[in-house]
Amino acid sequence: MTTDRIASLSPLLAPRSVALVGASENAARIGGRPLRYLREGGFKGAIYPVNPNRETVQGLRAYASMAALPEAPDVAILAVPADSMLQAVKACADRRVRAAIIFSAGFAETGDEGRRAQDEIAGIARDSGMRVLGPNCLGVFDAAAGYYGTFSAILDTAFVQPGPIAVVSQSGAYGSHITHLARERGLGIGHWITTGNECDVDVAEALAWVVTQGGVNVVMAYAEGIRHRDVFLGALDAARRNGIAIVFMKVGRSDVGARAVGSHTAALAGSDAVFDAVFRQYGVYRARTTAEQLDVAYACARGRYPASNKLGIFTLSGGFGIQMADDAAAAGLDVSPMPNDAQERLKAMLPYASPRNPVDATAQALTDLPLMTDYVRTMLAQGGYDMFAGIFGSGPATATFAASLRQVLETAAAGADDMILSLTMSAPREIVRTYEDKGFLVFEDGAALTTALGALVHFRRVFDAAASVEPPADTTRIALTGEPLSESASKAVLRQAGLTFPDEILVAPDEDVAAAAARIGYPVVLKISSPDIAHKTEVGGVIVNIAYDEQARRAARELLDRVRTVRPGARIEGLIVAPMIQGGVETIIGVTRDPVFGPVVMFGLGGIFVEVLQDVTFRVAPFGIAEAHRMIREVRGFPVLQGVRGAPPADLDALAATLSTLSCFAAANADTVESIDLNPVLARPRGQGVAPLDALVTLRTQQGSGT
Amino acid sequence: MTTDRIASLSPLLAPRSVALVGASENAARIGGRPLRYLREGGFKGAIYPVNPNRETVQGLRAYASMAALPEAPDVAILAVPADSMLQAVKACADRRVRAAIIFSAGFAETGDEGRRAQDEIAGIARDSGMRVLGPNCLGVFDAAAGYYGTFSAILDTAFVQPGPIAVVSQSGAYGSHITHLARERGLGIGHWITTGNECDVDVAEALAWVVTQGGVNVVMAYAEGIRHRDVFLGALDAARRNGIAIVFMKVGRSDVGARAVGSHTAALAGSDAVFDAVFRQYGVYRARTTAEQLDVAYACARGRYPASNKLGIFTLSGGFGIQMADDAAAAGLDVSPMPNDAQERLKAMLPYASPRNPVDATAQALTDLPLMTDYVRTMLAQGGYDMFAGIFGSGPATATFAASLRQVLETAAAGADDMILSLTMSAPREIVRTYEDKGFLVFEDGAALTTALGALVHFRRVFDAAASVEPPADTTRIALTGEPLSESASKAVLRQAGLTFPDEILVAPDEDVAAAAARIGYPVVLKISSPDIAHKTEVGGVIVNIAYDEQARRAARELLDRVRTVRPGARIEGLIVAPMIQGGVETIIGVTRDPVFGPVVMFGLGGIFVEVLQDVTFRVAPFGIAEAHRMIREVRGFPVLQGVRGAPPADLDALAATLSTLSCFAAANADTVESIDLNPVLARPRGQGVAPLDALVTLRTQQGSGT
């Protein structure tokens, strides 16, 4: 997406003037609510109610039509029924309005007729350049500007405070719900965008816009699918480079969920496993639950991230400490012990307490406040931690402990500016707020807290690495016709792309294979090479372990006979004579085409890892070497590549280079290549490279043909 | 645990009379609080404050000493400092008090001196038969009886309503915290027991007692370790047979957590993986977070469980429906579509809605209440579901939707007595309560709801299966000396126990192996058999694939030479001549000794499954065939046993029988057997049994010797 295209969203998302078509005097109606919100929210720009039947609406001068407006407004909110919508959209385009918001349902989600109406609106948007949000959406707001292009009922009772969190949601109901929850937790939300049926503006574009806005630290996103791959990936990349955390609820991860996506929206779902890979690739945090999405966004809202994953746990009850240590370990945090001298200092202060980590001062310690304060301060100053988590249950809310806990913690916090300070407590919002104001992150549940701290560590790493994300290598495009490729031809193409294969010789059907075999060196393998035979073993097209000339000649005759019998029409290029390579770890590398993300590279170990455990991982093409290394480390079978049972470690650098190179080729030739299979690829011992033993490039036009 | 031993807890947990030693006039102090709670809670039995310095305490007549009491009370609450505790305990024992509760810290958790004091108290308990709870515990309450043997501060502001949930917690702080959370959610708690340092009464005994009490539907348990294996397993078994759901927070699952357990309590932690296996074996639900523990207990509190895992999801927003479908799939629920005719009926009512499942009526449907009511009723009546989940966000709390939603749902609920009805909503407690009163389970988070529904399905299966849990097979004990066993001797012992091995012949060192080999049938394998050589391959003690007489003789000479060189002192029983068995799936079966649970059977697939993926599972011995089948299905590699790449399915019945038989042997001979290794065990094609190729039984007294 060009910068222009992003900029074209500003009239929609941050307008200077707003028209409301279908403006209603009744502030509870869909046509009345946005007006009420705009006025009560203190929107500074011009507001133009459009209503042919009234002089004024809610006290503002009304206009009879779009044509009657004194200026073309930045955005028009169209609060009219579905059957008058097309006319309203046309009127906007004619008046050169720069953006329109369509609330009404009754379009693509209802069937073919609705889809045709929606397509007409999309056509007007395309032709006029007017950006359209919706239909079937809840609109947009910008709490800081007092701009409310929405009728969401959650604002009925109270506005949301502006703040560093943005919400970008395909579903209006979800966007409203999570905002309601955020407000209950005292969180501020700046930009709020729901995209609904996405006839024009989609989640990807909204994300791309929002991550370039000042004051945004974190985005809570929701989507069922994505329409614009490049815009989406560009937005994710911009977010990490700008230090903005994206916390994503992507639904449709189960089969039944994916089917439901199909019946709900028109978005292409794509493969959820590929979505998952994209999120890992770009450092997006994928929330599994709404509660988790909120917890992580809450923690990221301040835009502060820890220097490392070292966590010091402080508790007055051993049991709580153990539980949090478990949770912290599960979240990838390092609960390493205090340095010995610091432990000794703490031991000297409270002999019966446990100063290791978790640091358990016991409830008794609360009876001596100065000592306790000193104790916590010592832990913070000398523990070597970048994060602190204190566990307090309902203590801060009880008459018995509230005052002493507050004193201890506030004193401690004053000296720990560089640390992430966090607490668990079960207390009313007003008590929680006082701790938040002192800089503490406060959670009710310890597992929620450690999950959120784990997410902070994750984002710190993502942001640190973002600057050095290498641009993918240049790859020249390779001219490929739609003709099927044989193994030989496939390998030739991939060699051009920069991949290396073991030396092998293609011998014509009437030539003597023995000479070639001698040149390759026995033992050899013989394989049929035909553009019409994609799966050689199915036709008996491979003979292995050939040891001498006569055996080679016999094998060649046999192979040709078999194939001519089973596939009489197949064009036979000849026989591939290849060395028998053994040793190394069997891996599988492939490229498939995702309906959303295009060429996707798959990696896995061979044998049961793929067949039984489905232990594979994906990356969207193209990607660099560092990303390929991360990819390789994601499979559960990775220890095999490090060497087991005395085997040497595999050549991970060569493997990563192969994956990256292949990804660049796949990306550069996405319009012609349908899929690529390298199976098996032997990952040989370190320094010896990789050996892809078989290769098949399938081109797009030959889809479905050949077996 | 005998019934007597369980019954001996009743004076402690359900007393008719209570003495409070160290009774204080100040109701905020540890010695004052229990008295205040007992009086305000309406305890019906006698209450005897003991205080030598006062005539009355909190208005009740006080007694100068235990000796001065008019009767021996069932229980004495000892609210005295640690340094006067021994004397107080002695006084109780002398007065023949039947149970005592010790709040004070300062015992085993503080070091050796404290441990000695605690051991003295334990000795008095043992000698006198007086049951002792604590020290370092928060005590006990029975909300229905108004019995409060606790000073927990959470009762300061309000009591907990009695109800079908019991709490059994080693940690007083944890027990208090989860009770606080339960109360906030409006849940009732009957029995509440915290065990602290467990010098006598432990979590296992408390569980055993509580699961035999009427009115208990669910237990929320917390433990860092377990002291009494048999009592614990007996309690878990009784719970499932009585239809009581146990929801367990077992901490120390991470390495760092397990270390913290060590520094916190004296309980043996045991292996967390074995705990996990015990929970699976006995159908205990292991909660990963406190929030989850509460959610599941909440769902189980009514003691109603669904007939199947079929869930119908109802929503007014497609996005929420998809999200819940994902969550439901993750929780193992079946979100199958409505029957076609039911879908058609719904389609006729609301043409634009999506009637499949999730059923998405869209927000528009709320405008026609009678239609909507009919719609939901039709879904419930004709969907074929045993569970219903409706997703409502903050709708039930908004002026716009509250009334209509209530009418729809209450009408619907009236006709669905057999179903588990559940809702998500974000609403104040008083609104939630009205839905709960109509029979709905109400959650704020959809993922929490589906997790809880999954737990209900789990417990239904566990309770249904509990009746048919087969008693483990009788196994006669086998006389075993402490002498190390050779492979031959190990196999002989295991044959006696009922295991089968391939036919093989032990040939003395000076005998001719060829005759034996011919009888077994070539090809054969030759192995050294020596009680002093546990790991034969390390000394080159195995030669495989021997094809003819002369090769066999040469191999025999070579084997004996090698072993005599490498292990000159080893006693050589002779050479095992065994058939070369190939084909089948390589598995590993073992028995180890857990410090808590004793003999534990391990099962896994061979090769990378064990070595790279640690893909093994455990069961505490003994167990029956059905349990062994469940065990086999738990490993990730299970599909390999079902047959992959055209291989036939393995003989699962024979594998299960082997596991069960071995478990019975291990249990019956737990005092003599340290460990057993059967590696590999070939699981042969169905009908052909299993073939353990190697066996080693290690006896307890030979621990550490032999390599």
Between CA B699 and CA B666 the distance in angstroms is 11
Mean per-residue pLDDT for B595-623? 92
Q: Does B135 touch chain A (CB under 8 A)?
A: no
Evaluate whether B300 touches B218 at the Cβ level (below 8 Å).
Answer: yes
From the CA of A554, how many Å to the nearest CA of chain B?
Answer: 29
Reported as a single tens digit per residue, the pLDDT across A557-570 is 999 999 999 999 89
DSSP for residue A337: P
Mean pLDDT, all residues of chain A: 92
B270 versus B457: the higher-pLDDT residue is B457
From the CA of A65, how many Å to the nearest CA of chain B?
Answer: 28
Candidates A176, A252, A317; nearest CB to B326: A252
Q: Before A649, cis peptide (omega within 30)? A: no
Inform me whether the pLDDT recorded for A174 exceeds 80.
yes
- Dig out the tokens for A562 from the structure: 């078999």
Pairing, β B585-594 against β B598-605: antiparallel
Angle among Cα A630, A633, A635 to the nearest 5 degrees reads 125
Mean per-residue pLDDT for A588-601? 94
Q: Across the interface, do B174 and A319 touch by the CB < 8 Å criterion?
A: yes
Inform me whether the pLDDT recorded for B278 exceeds 60.
yes
Identity of the residue numbered A707? T
The H or E element that residue A388 is part of is strand A387-391
Candidates B257, B290, B444; nearest CB to A322: B257
Candidates A290, A354, A447; nearest CB to B288: A447
- Least confident range from A151-155, B86-90, B419-423: namely A151-155
Q: What percent of chain B has pLDDT over 70?
A: 97
Mean per-residue pLDDT for B648-663? 97
**Per-residue pLDDT, A267:** 46
- Cα dihedral A83/A85/A91/A93 (nearest 10): -140
Residues 6+ apart with CB under 8 A from A443: A295, A422, A423, A424, A449, A452
Inform me whether the pLDDT recorded for B706 exceeds 50.
no
Burial A296-317 (b: 16+ CB within 10 A, else e): bbbbbbeebbbeebbbbbbbbb
Which site among A83, A203, A608, A611 would you substitute to test the B interface, given the most B Cβ atoms closer than 10 Å to its Cβ? A608
**Per-residue pLDDT, A474:** 67
Evaluate whether A387 touches A422 at the Cβ level (below 8 Å).
Answer: yes
Evaluate whether A193 touches A218 at the Cβ level (below 8 Å).
Answer: no
Q: Does B613 touch chain A (CB under 8 A)?
A: yes
Q: Across the interface, do B264 and A329 touch by the CB < 8 Å criterion?
A: no
A666 versus A471: the higher-pLDDT residue is A666
Residues 6+ apart with CB under 8 A from A321: A313, A315, A354, A358, A359, A360, A391, B260, B264
Between CA B515 and CA B527 the distance in angstroms is 16
Beginning with the edge strand found earlier in the chain, give each strand of the sheet holding A245-250 in spatial order: A147-150, A139-142, A189-194, A165-169, A218-223, A245-250, A285-286
Q: Which pLDDT band holds residue B479 (cuts at 50, 70, 90)?
A: confident
Per CB-CB distance under 8 Å, the chain A contacts of B360 are 263-264
Reported as a single tens digit per residue, the pLDDT across A392-417 is 888 888 777 788 888 888 888 887 88
0.85 surpassed by complex ipTM: yes
Pairing, β B616-620 against β B598-605: antiparallel
**Per-residue pLDDT, B258:** 84
Evaluate whether A247 touches B304 at the Cβ level (below 8 Å).
Answer: no
Q: Before A358, cis peptide (omega within 30)? A: yes
Mean per-residue pLDDT for A610-614? 87
**Per-residue pLDDT, A534:** 86
Mean per-residue pLDDT for B630-657? 94
Inform me whether the pLDDT recorded for A264 exceeds 70.
no
What residues 338-397 of chain B have any CB closer than 8 A to a CB of chain A?
A: 351-352, 354, 356, 358, 360, 362-364, 393-394
Reported as a single tens digit per residue, the pLDDT across A76-114 is 999 999 999 999 999 999 999 999 999 999 999 888 899
Q: Where are the alpha helices (DSSP H) in B569-622?
A: 608-611
**Per-residue pLDDT, B704:** 43
Mean per-residue pLDDT for B481-497? 91
Residue the block writes with tokens 């899929």: A675
Evaluate whether A448 touches A454 at the Cβ level (below 8 Å).
Answer: no
- Cα dihedral A236/A239/A245/A246 (nearest 10): -30
Per CB-CB distance under 8 Å, the chain A contacts of B317 are 171-174
Per CB-CB distance under 8 Å, the chain B contacts of A109 are 318, 352
- DSSP 3-state assignment of A682? strand
Per CB-CB distance under 8 Å, the chain B contacts of A325 are 254, 256-257, 260
- Dig out the tokens for A432 from the structure: 């929680």
- DSSP 3-state assignment of B521? coil
Inform me whether the pLDDT recorded for B234 exceeds 60.
yes
Q: What percent of chain A has pLDDT over 90?
A: 80
3-state secondary structure A582-610: CCCEEEEEEEEEECCCEEEEEEEECCHHH
- Least confident range from A58-72, B296-310, B463-477, B487-501: namely B463-477
Mean per-residue pLDDT for A152-177? 94
The number of C-beta contacts closer than 8 angstroms across A and B is: 242
Per CB-CB distance under 8 Å, the chain B contacts of A364 are 105
Candidates A156, A174, A393; nearest CB to B177: A393
Candidates B181, B327, B354; nearest CB to A426: B181
For A351, the closest chain B residue by CA position comes to B110
**Per-residue pLDDT, B123:** 97
Candidates B171, B363, B637; nearest CB to A612: B637
Evaluate whether B287 touches A352 at the Cβ level (below 8 Å).
Answer: no
Mean pLDDT, all residues of chain B: 92
For B324, the closest chain A residue by CA position comes to A257
Burial level of A365, CB count in 10 A (0-12/13-18/19+)? buried
Between CA A283 and CA A662 the distance in angstroms is 22
Q: Across the interface, do B362 and A105 touch by the CB < 8 Å criterion?
A: yes
Candidates A111, A153, A322; nearest CB to B252: A322
Reported as a single tens digit per residue, the pLDDT across A482-523 is 788 999 999 999 999 999 999 999 999 999 999 999 999 999
Per CB-CB distance under 8 Å, the chain B contacts of A176 are 393-394
For B114, the closest chain A residue by CA position comes to A352
Evaluate whether B199 touches B140 at the Cβ level (below 8 Å).
Answer: no
- DSSP 3-state assignment of A647? coil
Q: Across the interface, do B364 and A446 touch by the CB < 8 Å criterion?
A: no
**Per-residue pLDDT, A263:** 61
From the CA of B606, how many Å to the nearest CA of chain A?
Answer: 12
Evaluate whether B606 touches B588 at the Cβ level (below 8 Å).
Answer: yes
Which whole-number Å values give the CA distances from A455 to A208, A285, A339, in the listed order? Answer: 22, 7, 26
Q: Does A110 touch chain B (CB under 8 A)?
A: yes
Residue A147: strand pairing partners: A142
Reported as a single tens digit per residue, the pLDDT across B435-453 is 999 999 999 999 999 999 9
Q: Does A197 touch chain B (CB under 8 A)?
A: no
Measured distance between the N- and C-terminal CA atoms of chain B, rounded to whole angstroms? 39
- Least confident range from A2-16, A318-332, B690-704: namely B690-704
Which of B600, B590, B596 shows the shortest CA–CA distance to B252?
Answer: B596
From the CA of B512, how many Å to the nearest CA of chain A?
Answer: 35
Between CA A557 and CA A540 the distance in angstroms is 13
DSSP for residue B532: T
Residues 6+ apart with CB under 8 A from A580: A523, A524, A525, A544, A545
The H or E element that residue A315 is part of is strand A311-315
Give the global pTM.
0.94
Which whole-number Å values give the CA distances from A402 to A314, A392, A411, B208, B537, in the listed order? Answer: 17, 10, 14, 37, 66
Q: Across the interface, do B156 and A320 touch by the CB < 8 Å criterion?
A: no
Inform me whether the pLDDT recorded for A705 exceeds 60.
no
Q: What percent of chain A has pLDDT over 70?
A: 97
Between CA B565 and CA A486 the distance in angstroms is 58
Q: Does B636 touch chain A (CB under 8 A)?
A: yes
Reported as a single tens digit per residue, the pLDDT across B151-196 is 998 898 899 999 999 999 999 999 999 999 999 999 999 999 999 9
**Could you give phi then psi for residue A278, rounded to 5 degrees?**
-60, -45
Which of A328, A407, A413, A333 shows the shortest CA–CA distance to A379?
Answer: A413
Between CA A629 and CA A623 the distance in angstroms is 10
Per CB-CB distance under 8 Å, the chain B contacts of A224 are 319, 322
Between CA A697 and CA A662 the distance in angstroms is 11
Q: Across the interface, do B612 and A639 touch by the CB < 8 Å criterion?
A: yes
Q: Before A622, cis peptide (omega within 30)? A: yes
Mean per-residue pLDDT for B257-283? 79
Burial B35-57 (b: 16+ CB within 10 A, else e): bbbbbebebebbbbbbbeeeeeb
Identity of the residue numbered B203? V
From the CA of B538, how many Å to the nearest CA of chain A?
Answer: 14
**Per-residue pLDDT, A191:** 98
Largest CA distance in chain B: 101
Evaluate whether A249 touches A293 at the Cβ level (below 8 Å).
Answer: yes
Q: Does B105 touch chain A (CB under 8 A)?
A: yes
Mean per-residue pLDDT for A185-197? 96
Which whole-number Å values give the CA distances from A346 to A314, A356, A471, B353, in the listed order? Answer: 12, 9, 50, 65
Per CB-CB distance under 8 Å, the chain B contacts of A265 are 318
Contacts of residues A644-648 at CB distance under 8 Å and 24 or more positions apart, as own/partner, are A644/B608, A644/B611, A644/B612, A645/B611, A647/A585, A648/A685, A648/A686
Which of B669, B679, B283 shows the shortest CA–CA distance to B457?
Answer: B283
What residues 454-513 of chain A have any CB closer than 8 A to a CB of chain B?
A: none
Per CB-CB distance under 8 Å, the chain B contacts of A251 are 319, 322-323, 326
Q: Which pLDDT band holds residue B705 (cuts at 50, 70, 90)?
A: very low
Per CB-CB distance under 8 Å, the chain B contacts of A611 are 644-645
Reported as a single tens digit per residue, the pLDDT across A335-361 is 999 999 999 999 999 988 889 999 998
Between CA B85 and CA B121 the distance in angstroms is 9
Residues 6+ apart with CB under 8 A from B528: B536, B539, B541, B542, B559, B560, B563, B572, B575, B576
Inform me whether the pLDDT recorded for B707 exceeds 90.
no
Candidates B109, B259, B360; nearest CB to A264: B360
Q: Across the interface, do A317 and B644 touch by the CB < 8 Å criterion?
A: no
